[in-house]
Amino acid sequence: MELSLTQSTLFFGLILLAAGGSLLLKYTSVSAILRGFPRSGQAGKVLMILAMAWTGWKVWNLSSMDYGDYKQYILIGFGVLGALSFKYASDFLSVRASCILYLFFADMLVDSAWMRYEEPLRLLMVAPVYLGIALALYLAYAPFRLRDFFGWLFGVESRAKVFSMVTAVYGAVLAGVAFSF
């Protein structure tokens, strides 16, 4: 799915606005959900199935320049890895699956800004996306760190509210900037 720079900036801004706003408005329920998320078995299964489906779709649409001649073998390999992850990497599976999904999502966002150097405001969207890519790679390696982060973040209510306020304001700025492209 091809997104324009305006669409991807608006979409990412609205996601940040919704994430920050939901934590601000429903602090106790959202914080409880987020605290339980890293070890949630149900979320892990659902998100991993979505990640496997998206991976399968991406592999199935590989061109011959991107090893598309071997896509059946790649598809089988990723399918086996995904199935084995339910048994051998079930602890923090929701975090790992979220990292996979974010990397695919980030690929769509970064592709929309590719070779758009004449629009310097694109950096407002691309910079946090790249930061999220680095964070997703780190959390895929050490998913327990998300549990530690949530423990630190929700240890003091004001810390979580400031974090969610910054996220919501940045999302609103991105949504506003989307219309300047």
Tens of pLDDT along the chain (181 residues) come to: 688 888 899 999 999 999 999 988 888 888 888 888 888 889 999 999 999 999 999 888 888 888 878 888 999 999 999 899 998 888 899 999 999 999 999 999 999 888 777 777 788 889 999 999 999 999 999 999 999 999 999 999 899 999 999 999 999 999 998 887 6
DSSP character at residue 89: S
Q: Is residue 22 one of the residues assigned to a domain?
A: yes
The answer to whether position 48 is within a domain reads: no
How far out from the chain centre does Cα 139 lie?
A: 11
Identify whether 119 is part of a domain.
Answer: yes
Determine, yes or no, domain membership for 131.
Answer: yes
The pTM score is 0.86
Q: How many domains does the chain have?
A: 1
- Pull the structure tokens for residue 113: 């800004």
Residue 63 within a domain: no
Instruction: Please report, for the chain, how many H helices and E strands are present, in that order.
Output: 8, 0
Angle at 49 between CA 73 and CA 84, to 5 degrees: 60
> Does some domain include residue 65?
no
Asked whether residue 85 is assigned to any structural domain, the reply reads: no
Does residue 55 lie in a domain region?
no
Chain Cα centroid distance, residue 1: 17
Which pLDDT score is estimated for 63? 85
Alpha-carbon distance of 82 to 101, in angstroms, equals: 13
Give the domain range for residue 32. 5-38+93-180
